[in-house]
Chains A and B, each alone.
Chain A
Amino acid sequence: MKQQRWLPWVFLAPTIAGMGIFTLIPIVASIVLAFFHWDIISAPEFVGFANFAEVAQSPTVQVSFLNTILFVVVAVALQLGIALGLAVLVTEKLPNWLRSFFRSALFFPLVLSAASVSIFMKYLFNEKFGVVNWLLSLLNIPSVPWLTSPTGSAAVIVLVYVWQNFGFSFLLFLGGLASIPTETYEAASLDGATGWRKLVQITLPLLSPTTLVASVMAIISALQVFDQPYVLTGGGPGDSTRTAVMVIFETAFQRLEFGQASALGVILTIIIMLITAAQFRLSKRFVFYQ
């Protein structure tokens, strides 16, 4: 047995090496770079906390981080709400074969490239030539400037994002629902509980560990939204759909301020960590384990 102590490390080595090269080194490099001015071509120059001060004062950065928080609130609420609702419906009402079909169909958008989906949606939501406005015109509803007005573009981005991502939360909820013992429902039925009371008093509390995992993952993902606003609106009109990661991208690759972009990345990482920590702390009150 003693001779085989090294064996687990052999199997772990590729993963550790991959994590080191592709995750840890970039993280450390990014933190270090946040304290330098670097334009990709000239030599980096140490500037202390100047990058953090610079980005904190930028109105575009402030607006984009606020946009991101608003996006997270709306998109995650919709994503989890729709996913939970559909998971409950599918579990309750449908036969197995139809449940399998919906499981695949609802998960399918997640495997598509977000950029491709967004390009496709851009055509659908075009104000003059898009299918969506054409359908609305059949109902005598006037043309909506979906991608060229602040409200319309924000709505489309949330819609496209939620459509593409709720499948993952849906699968998590399906798994969570399957793990709730049927005896609990049977006992509640014997006590005369209605479907609504079973949902509120049994399903939701017993699903809370799954909800915690789903919400943590959904919030982390939504905080990093990039593809949909980048392709659909480019962050416009104005800054109305500009998100934190878009500003990081623009700061690095359009303004060539890699130090400031790294500082923004560090700030976003800290925000994500704080929100996640808060979720786990709050979970002690709201999450119930059987």
Chain B
Amino acid sequence: MASKVGAVGDITRRAALGALGVGVVGVTAASWPRLTAADIPGRGDNSLSIVIQGTKADAAAREKLVADFNKVHPEIKVKVQAIQSVDWKDFFVKLLTMVAAGQSPDLVYVATEGTQLFAERLAEPLDRFVQRDASVLQEYFDDVHPSLVEAMMYKGSLYQLPLDWNAANMYFNTSALKKAGLELPPADWSHLDFRNMLSSMKQANGSDFTPYYWTNRLFGGVVPWLYINDTSFLKETKASGGRWLWDGFYKNDPSSKMRAGGSLWESPNALDSRVEESFDFLRGLVKDGLGVRPEEGGGNSLVGLFASGRIGSTPAGGYWVEGLHEAGMKEDEFDVSFFPKWRTQRHQFGTAGYAIMKTAKDKDAAWEFVKWAASKPAMEVAFALPTTTPTRRSMVNEALYSGKGPKHWKVFYDTLDKFPSTGPIPAPPEQAAVETALIKNVSLAVSGDQAQLKNAMKSLERDLDLALGRN
């Protein structure tokens, strides 16, 4: 033992420093790919780099999709990177940071919330590609509702081919309905019918039961209540243009004449009397204990509470089906209906698809992936489970909901077919700031008296002005 200690003690300071130096150089060399970020998928080679919102597991789940694509295009290498984020707003923040750092991907999976932000600043219009490959794409457009396509247009140009979408429909817990002696409402029910249903459910169910639970956000929060009252918190107009698409791919569609170059939201509308009326309706629900004061957050956290029978109804899209199934709900334990009618029965929807970045290294290769991802075989791989609603009408069928429900799954696509005015999430290029302005005033508006509601509307108008850069 003594000799060993002596051996260590014999090492000179110079030798120790030298060894330390060698060690530092070795560690640096070994971690060089990480230090230079060369280990990020798609970096340093000519791969088509695709960014999606999700986890590493979500990126891995697309491997089958990529493998199938490579059977058609073996010459195009594809790497998928997932960005984990709380919501689309958070996702865009992280993506913009990547772009600012000079690490722009080639393709990004973007939802309606970001379509106009990307169209204005980052994305390449698809018009020339779509027109070039019109013969191949006609089959896609024949299968996809024009409202979804129009939502991907900005100032007359198309920026994405929508692949999945969801409308704000109304989910009901059927056991809560049964306890109250109620049936699923008819298609043309009104907002007052809804209120009466909530009252009945409240009386019939226990004190820890909530008839209506809603969250404070851009999708499924206050906006569907504004849409059915034929208004919105932003003035909505249509951009000109887009005839190249409607007169070509949708020339036989009866609604093609009413289509244009995409929606524009350029000014606030919070002081419209109908906006106040809708908010007042929700305020009444909160005041009478029929609905909760809305908190921030997505609807996914509600799945467990809904499945355990503590929530009677909530707005959500087809994306909820798989979650409820996994939470143990049988197909007859929940059902879905259209949102109730007020002045109109216009629903709110959001959709998503791949956007090609202006900075993409090889835009033709990127387009090949976009085109292939919109093909039916690819979409059948991508949307095998009811975790969302595929944009192809032919895929929203009995097989997709087999054994999972809900009984009235046809409601999902009928929302578009029966209500052609159903519109996209109001998401101008300044969506993140607009959403913040909306969220921060909603809870105030529905949680106090009339005076507080009026003040919240004034505050919303002022905040939206700021968000839209109008003052």
A236 B100 Cβ-Cβ under 8 A: no
Q: Across the interface, do B292 and A254 meet the contact criterion of CB distance under 8 Å?
A: no
Q: Is A58 an interface residue (CB 8 A)?
A: yes
Contact among A122, A126, A242, A255 with B432 in the assembled complex (CB-CB below 8 Å): A255
B70 to chain A, nearest CB (A): 32
The closest CB in chain B to the CB of A234 belongs to: B296
A-B contact count (CB 8 A): 78
Residues of A137-167 contacting chain B, CB below 8 A: 145, 147-149
CB contacts (< 8 Å) of B97 on chain A: these are 40, 253
B-facing residues in A96-153 (Cβ within 8 Å): 122, 126-129, 145, 147-149
A233 to B294, CA, bound (A): 11
What's the dominant secondary structure at chain B's contact region? helix
Among B2-10, B41-49, B381-389, B439-447, the one that faces the other chain is B439-447
Contact B100 A40 (CB under 8 A): yes
- Asked if B459 lies at the interface with its beta carbon under 8 angstroms from chain A, I say yes
Inter-chain contact B433/A254, CB cutoff 8 Å? yes
In the bound complex, CA of A144 to CA of B97 (Å): 39
Q: Which of A127, A235, A238, A250 has the most CB of B within 10 A?
A: A238
Interface pair B93/A238, CB less than 8 Å apart? no
With both chains docked as a complex, state the minimum distance between the C-beta of A14 and any C-beta of chain B, in angstroms: 9
Give the most central of B97, B295, B456: most A CB within 10 Å.
B295
Q: Is B293 an interface residue (CB 8 A)?
A: yes
Instruction: Choose from B99, B208, B443 the contact partner of A41 (Cβ within 8 Å).
Output: B99
Which residues in chain B, 271-325, are within 8 Å of chain A measured between CB atoms? 292-297, 305, 310
Given A129-B305, A255-B432, are A41 and B440 also a contact pair (CB < 8 Å)? no
Q: Which chain B residues border A58 with CB–CB below 8 Å?
A: 466
Chain B residue with the shortest CB-CB distance to A129? B305
A122 / chain B contacts, CB cutoff of 8 Å = 295, 297
Nearest-neighbour CB distance to chain B for A97, whole angstroms, equals 35
Interfacial chain B residues near A129, Cβ < 8 Å: 208, 305, 310
Given A41-B96, A41-B99, A148-B294 in contact, is the A237-B440 Cβ separation under 8 Å? Answer: yes
Once the chains bind, are A148 and B293 in contact (CB under 8 Å)? Answer: yes
Determine which of B293, B439, B456, B466 lies in contact with A145 in the assembled complex, contact meaning CB atoms within 8 Å: B293
Given A41-B96, A60-B463, A254-B89, check contact A236 B292 (CB 8 Å).
Answer: no
Q: Decide: B433 and A145 in contact? CB cutoff 8 A.
A: no
Q: Which residues of A contact B127 (CB under 8 A)?
A: none
Is B470 part of the binding interface, using a Cβ–Cβ cutoff of 8 Å? Answer: no
Q: Which residues of B contact A41 (CB under 8 A)?
A: 96, 99-100, 121-122
Closest Cβ of chain A to B404, distance in Å, is 25
**Cβ contacts B76-107/A at 8 Å (1 or 0 each):** 00000000000001000100110110000000
Whether A236 pairs with B439 at a CB distance below 8 angstroms is yes
Nearest residue in A to B217 (C-beta to C-beta)?
A234
B143 to chain A, nearest CB (A): 35
Asked if B380 lies at the interface with its beta carbon under 8 angstroms from chain A, I say: no
A242 partner residues in chain B, CB cutoff 8 A: 440
Contact B296 A233 (CB under 8 A): yes
Indicate whether B467 reaches chain A with its CB closer than 8 angstroms. Answer: yes
Is the pair A237, B305 in contact by a Cβ cutoff of 8 Å? Answer: no
Chain B residue at minimal CB-CB distance from A14 = B24
Q: How many positions in chain A have a CB within 8 Å of any CB in the partner chain? A: 27
Indicate if the CB atoms of B440 and A234 lie closer than 8 Å: yes
Find the B residue at minimum CB distance from A252: B93
Determine the distance from Cα of A126 to Cα of B305 in the docked complex, in whole angstroms. 12
* Residue of chain A at shortest CB distance from B101: A40
Closest Cβ of chain B: how far from A8's Cβ, in Å? 13
Give the shortest distance, in Å, between A138 (CB) and chain B (any CB): 13
Asked if B122 contacts A126 (CB within 8 A), the reply is no
* Partner pick for A255 among B210, B216, B459, B467, CB 8 A cutoff: B467
B441 cross-chain contacts in A, Cβ below 8 A: 238
| Complex contact B99–A236 (CB within 8 A) | no
Residues of B within 8 A of A253 (CB): 93, 96-97, 432
Decide: B210 and A238 in contact? CB cutoff 8 A.
no
Instruction: Report whether B466 and A149 are in contact in the complex, using a CB–CB cutoff of 8 Å.
Output: no
Please encode chain B, from 334 to 346, with 1 for each CB lying within 8 Å of some chain A CB and 0 for all others: 0000000000000
CA of A122 to CA of B89, assembled, Å: 20
Complex partner residue of B443 from A40, A128, A238, CB under 8 angstroms: A238
Contact of A234 with B439 in the complex, beta carbons under 8 Å = yes
Q: Are B444 and A236 in contact (CB under 8 A)?
A: yes
Known: A233-B296, A234-B296, A238-B459. A256 touches B96 (CB 8 A): yes
The verdict on A40 contacting B96 (CB below 8 Å), with A128-B210, A129-B310, A237-B447 known, is yes
User: In the bound complex, what is the Cα–Cα distance between A234 and B430 (angstroms)?
Assistant: 18
Task: Confirm or deny: B436 has a beta carbon within 8 angstroms of a beta carbon on chain A.
Answer: yes
Q: Which residues of A sit under 8 angstroms from B310, Cβ to Cβ?
A: 129
Name the interface residues of B212-231: CB closer than 8 Å to any CB of A: 213, 216
- Contact among B99, B436, B443, B467 for A148, CB-based, below 8 A: B443
Query: Which residues of chain B are near A126, meaning CB under 8 Å?
Result: 295
**Chain A residue with Cβ nearest B460:** A238
* Alpha-carbon distance A30/B305, docked complex (angstroms): 45
A41-B99, A236-B444, A255-B467 given as contacts; is B432 within 8 A of A147 (CB)?
no
Complex: how many Å from CA A145 to CA B287?
12
Q: Which residues of B contact A149 (CB under 8 A)?
A: 293, 447
Contacts of B305 in A (CB 8 A): 129
Q: Contacts of B466 on A, CB cut-off 8 Å? A: 58, 60
Chain B residues, CB < 8 A from A60: 463, 466
Complex: how many Å from CA A236 to CA B210? 22
Q: Are B436 and A147 closer than 8 Å at their CB atoms? A: no
Closest 3 CB pairs of A and B: A148-B293, A254-B432, A237-B443
> Footprint of A on B, CB under 8 Å?
89, 93, 96-97, 99-100, 121-122, 208, 210, 213, 216, 292-297, 305, 310, 430, 432-433, 436, 439-441, 443-444, 447, 456, 459, 462-463, 466-467
Task: Report 23 cross-chain contacts, Cβ distance below 8 Å, ordered by A residue.
Answer: A40-B96, A40-B100, A59-B462, A60-B466, A122-B297, A127-B293, A128-B213, A129-B208, A129-B305, A148-B292, A148-B293, A148-B443, A149-B447, A233-B296, A234-B439, A236-B216, A236-B444, A237-B444, A238-B440, A238-B443, A250-B436, A253-B93, A254-B89
